[in-house]
Structure 1
Amino acid sequence: MNVRHLTFRLLQVYVTVVRLGSVSRAAAELHLTQPTVSQQLKRLAEAVGEPLLDTRMKPTFIGTELYHAALESLSRFEDFGGFLQDARQGTRGSFSIGVVTTAKYILPRLLGPFNRQFPGVEVSISVGNRGYILERHRYQQDDLYLFSHPPSGEHTLSSRFIHNPLVLITPPDHWAVKQPPASFAELLHERFLLREPGSATRLVFEEWLRKRNLQLKRVMQVESNEVIRMSVEQGLGLAVLSEHTLEGEHRLGRPALPEFPLSSHWYLVCHDNRRLPYAAANFVRFINDHLAACVKEGYIDKDLAALLGHINKPGNKP
């Protein structure tokens, strides 16, 4: 048998004739003429080199085996067709996302509902400090990124979508809780616990200080939000952290200062010179359509136009 002469159309015609037991009925179902169906059967028999049907349109011994093989092949490709359709709709497949450490507090709120609606999508997550995720972004190691202080540069698209208020926290018995100062300047002599240089929270806080010509007197560097929270609770100092890291935390003081919280946002980031996988594109659309079901309404500040425009560009759209 010369398999190069076999085509899916020949196998489809043959399976239909065997199933219906009639060339005419097969022709009607396939929207072909009877001579065309007969010619297709002849070509298939020549390719196999053996008779496939008897005079009653029943498969021969060899024809029966070909029928089962053809059914299996066509069925597999029907399955593939369904898989391809699901993949193009983003309901199956995979994508990767790089996430700065603080964002681990909000990512599960997005991925949980997304996974329940699209269980066929696999997501791989890389979590690290800002420097680590910036390096992954530089070498395009992930499809999407989640930053609170997005990188800039050519071919980088970023869209804000969630408020990320930065709040001042103190030990629960701190004097500023009982008698809030008139301004932050009265706290400059306190020890402040800060994340490592380059941390987005630290960048925003230091930029805010710089614009007001304020300078902290005492600083302790701590490379973990959890350790900062515990250290503040034990009286080691004050800190400025994302409000998202403090949800459900009632043991810390939050002085009522007019300058706080500081304004910040979470951003979804991708490369505009790289087509997003269908599943990643579907995740962006899901956030755009269902964000209110994932986070509290007061945190929503959605402007995903840049990413949605990239997804819908000719050549990128499923």
Structure 2
Amino acid sequence: MEKHTPEASHGQFLIRHASLRQIQIFEAVARHLSFTKAANELYLTQPTISAQVKSLSESIGLPLYEQVGRNIFLTEVGEHVACTCRDIIDRLSNLEILLDDFRGMTRGRLRVAVVSTAKYFMPIALGKFAKKHPNIDLSLKVANREKMLKRIHQNLDDLYILGQVPPSHLDLEVIPFAPNPLVVIANSEHELVGQKVSLKKLAKQPFLMREEGSGIRSAVEDVFSEKGLKVNERMTLETNEAIKHCVVGDLGVAVVSRHALYLEDMHGPIAELDVEGFPINKQWNIVYPKGKELSLLAKEFLSFLQERGNKYIQLEGKGSVESA
């Protein structure tokens, strides 16, 4: 009988010792950083989840996570294993979609993550896409730029919409998608409404700023620093809705994506200011890791956005988006 040395069989060790169920379970634990949430998602008991993760860790021979109190943190090895688990699950999902196509059915899962200002048009685009594919599972995550880059690194989603090109050290496909102008807003009764405003004059105004890690914040800071000016920051807020409410309350001026204003009445309590250097002409980018095999659904949605996505973006005034 043929004998295999440990060295000869090392390349197939995980194939023989790790099950697809363990891969699915560890991916869920890594995504939630919680055994309880993974158990709830997969309809398993927590002891079952713990046992399967322990078995996978023993098969690999290295710790996949550390536990501090009630919190768990992935080790560096755990991060790599989690990314590979997601690749395996994605490829199997792609195979399922392909098999469903042979059966004459369209099913599958589409996961999209967007920076916070893209939430004003992405639900509309997803809604139109879902009408063509009513049986698919959809996931839409909204986060600031810093958290989005982390999601990309962890391979948590199929496609990402970003307002700024990611750092060059990330090996990504970047597809320009649509304009994303950043504008200065103020209360409609503010003294600067209707004026031509210099950046130096604007710098004297109390500013409502997005949080650290926000793409809009970094864009504003860059514009001011280029002129040797500093932002007179009054408050830091984590959502555009909070910023707009504070502008209505006349607590200061702010910079938002013009997309964030498309539901606002042009005669309402918020006005766009005419400021030197604004709008800052940014654009949306569709992003995904280079080499990532997109699912058939993700490929179709990518084509859908490139062909029709602009129809669901409203840039001026109040009105309804195109219904086609």
**What TM-score comes out, normalization by structure 2 length?**
0.61
Q: Give matches, 1:1-318, under 5 Å.
A: 84=99, 86=101, 91-152=106-167, 153-178=169-194, 180-249=195-264, 250-296=268-314
Letter in 1 for 2:278: F
Structure-2 change in CA distance of 1:89 and 1:194 (3 Å):
farther
Q: Give ranges in structure 2 of 5+ residues lacking alignment.
A: 1-94, 317-324
Deviations 1:232-262, CA, capped at 9 Å, x for gaps? 1111000000111111223212222342211
Deviations 1:259-294, CA, capped at 9 Å, x for gaps? 221111111110112100110011001112223432
CA contact (8 A) 1:87 1:279 kept: no
CA contact (8 A) 1:98 1:144 kept: yes
SS at match of 2:152: helix
SS at match of 1:94: strand
Deviations 1:42-65, CA, capped at 9 Å, x for gaps? xxxxxxxxxxxxxxxxxxxxxxxx
Separation in structure 2 between the aligned mates of residue 123 and residue 87 of structure 1, nearest angstrom: 22
Deviations 1:218-243, CA, capped at 9 Å, x for gaps? 43211121111011111100000011
Structure-2 change in CA distance of 1:210 and 1:89 (3 Å):
farther
Structure-2 change in CA distance of 1:293 and 1:246 (3 Å):
closer
Letter in 2 for 1:147: L
CA contact (8 A) 1:144 1:280 kept: yes
CA contact (8 A) 1:90 1:282 kept: no
Q: Give ranges in structure 1 of 5+ residues lacking alignment.
A: 1-79, 299-318
Separation in structure 1 between the aligned mates of residue 228 and residue 295 of structure 2, nearest angstrom: 46
Separation in structure 1 between the aligned mates of residue 252 and residue 102 of structure 2, nearest angstrom: 51
Separation in structure 2 between the aligned mates of residue 194 and residue 117 of structure 1, nearest angstrom: 39
Structure-2 change in CA distance of 1:81 and 1:156 (3 Å):
closer
Question: Which fold has the larger relative contact order, with Cα–Cα distance below 8 Å and residues 6 or more apart in sequence?
Answer: 1
Letter in 1 for 2:259: H
Residue 65 of structure 1: aligned partner? none
CA contact (8 A) 1:113 1:294 kept: no
Q: CA RMSD in A?
A: 2.6
Structure-2 change in CA distance of 1:81 and 1:168 (3 Å):
closer
In our comparison, the structure showing a higher alpha carbon Rg is 1
SS at match of 2:305: helix
Letter in 1 for 2:164: H
Separation in structure 1 between the aligned mates of residue 246 and residue 97 of structure 2, nearest angstrom: 54
Sequence identity of aligned pairs in percent? 32
Letter in 1 for 2:279: P
How many residue pairs end up in the alignment?
218
User: Per residue, is there more strand in 1 or in 2?
Assistant: 2
CA contact (8 A) 2:198 2:275 kept: yes
Separation in structure 2 between the aligned mates of residue 268 and residue 88 of structure 1, nearest angstrom: 31
Structure-2 change in CA distance of 1:211 and 1:273 (3 Å):
same
